[in-house]
Structure 1
Amino acid sequence: MNPTIFQPDEQLTIQAHQRIPYCAAINLQIGTDSLNKRLYSLPFARQNIGNIFLPALHGGLIGGFLQSCISLYLMEQQNLQESAQIIDYSTDYLLSGKPVDSYAQCEIMHAGKRISHVTATMWQTQSDKPIAFARAHLQMPAIAN
């Protein structure tokens, strides 16, 4: 696959930074790819290195980035005013995260009134070579009558 083309959306990024302060701390960016699908970006920053000898991104940073992407994606796709609560979350670490920009896309596997299931895939140079995969079950916020 070709390298990822990321087209940032400054307004969505600012909203994400306001809703989830961790997004601002890691400089998570929101935008679209060349097919106009939602895409999340984690620009490389030296402080994100966990293993200085490889060097490789910190595993907690990868997990936190994917968890944030899942929350933001569900909020956007389901038009939620507040975040859904995570019931269960897991990350599969597939490859070391190199010191380069990273990207993620999410997919809603099930969106119910009470429970939703969302996945996220993270890659760096090629979308067909993921470095991490996450899945989450989330409890949807109560809707006021």
Structure 2
Amino acid sequence: MSEGQRDGSVLFTLPPFARAMGMTLAVDEDGSPIVTMQFGAHSEGRPGFLHGGAIGGLLEMAGFAALSAHLAQNGVNQRMKPINISIEYLRAGLPQPVYAIGQVVRAGRRVANVRVEAWQSDRAVPIASCWMNFHLAAPKG
């Protein structure tokens, strides 16, 4: 499977910001999108640690990817606009790749709720998590 695709259909395309931050998009064995960010000068905060803003950006991209995939799987074509995001920083991000995956908890006609977790070497030990709420609207046009 190619980056950000499953069965030939694009799930989500990372915006220029995410690509500039070294993020890539893949899918796990269940078909859920996973966003990965490599550690480097672009993502370093205090020496030897990930910057909180870089982690927040990664969580946001994973939330968009999860909701986009969910809507596509259900044949729904709606615009997604974030209402809010609440991030919990759980432990320091170390100089290694960081991964994030989102889970759509609820997607109604107008609002969707997504939970996202980020981890490094062990998925069971997250370094950050967040709740995202989205407004869903009909596509323009």
Which TM-score applies when normalising by structure 2?
Answer: 0.82
How far off its partner does 1:141 sit?
Answer: 2.2
How far off its partner does 1:47 sit?
Answer: 2.3
Which TM-score applies when normalising by structure 1?
Answer: 0.80
Partners of 1:76 and 1:35 in 2: CA distance: 12
Q: Which runs of 4+ in 1 moved over 4 A?
A: 80-83
Match of 1:100 in 2: 96
1:88 equivalent in alignment to 2:84: yes
**One-letter amino acid of the counterpart of residue 76, structure 1:** A
Q: 124-133 or 30-39: which moved more?
A: 30-39
Q: Contact 2:4–2:26 at 8 Å: present in 1 too? A: no
**One-letter amino acid of the counterpart of residue 91, structure 1:** I
Structure (1 or 2) with the greater helix fraction? 1
Correspondence list, 1:16-95, <5 A: 16-17=13-14, 20-34=15-29, 36-52=31-47, 55-79=48-72, 83-95=79-91
Q: Contact 1:88–1:136 at 8 Å: present in 2 too? A: yes
Partners of 2:4 and 2:134 in 1: CA distance: 25
Over the residues paired in the alignment, what is the CA RMSD in angstroms?
Answer: 2.4
How far off its partner does 1:105 sit?
Answer: 1.2
- Give unpaired runs (5+ residues) of structure 2: none
* Identical positions, percent: 25
Residue-by-residue CA offset, 1:80-125 (whole Å, 9 max, x unaligned):
6665111111110000000100111110010011000001100000
Q: Contact 1:56–1:99 at 8 Å: present in 2 too? A: yes
Quickly say closer, same or farther: Cα 1:83–1:21, change in 2 above 3 A. farther
Match of 1:5 in 2: none
Q: Secondary structure at the match of 2:92?
A: coil
**One-letter amino acid of the counterpart of residue 71, structure 1:** F
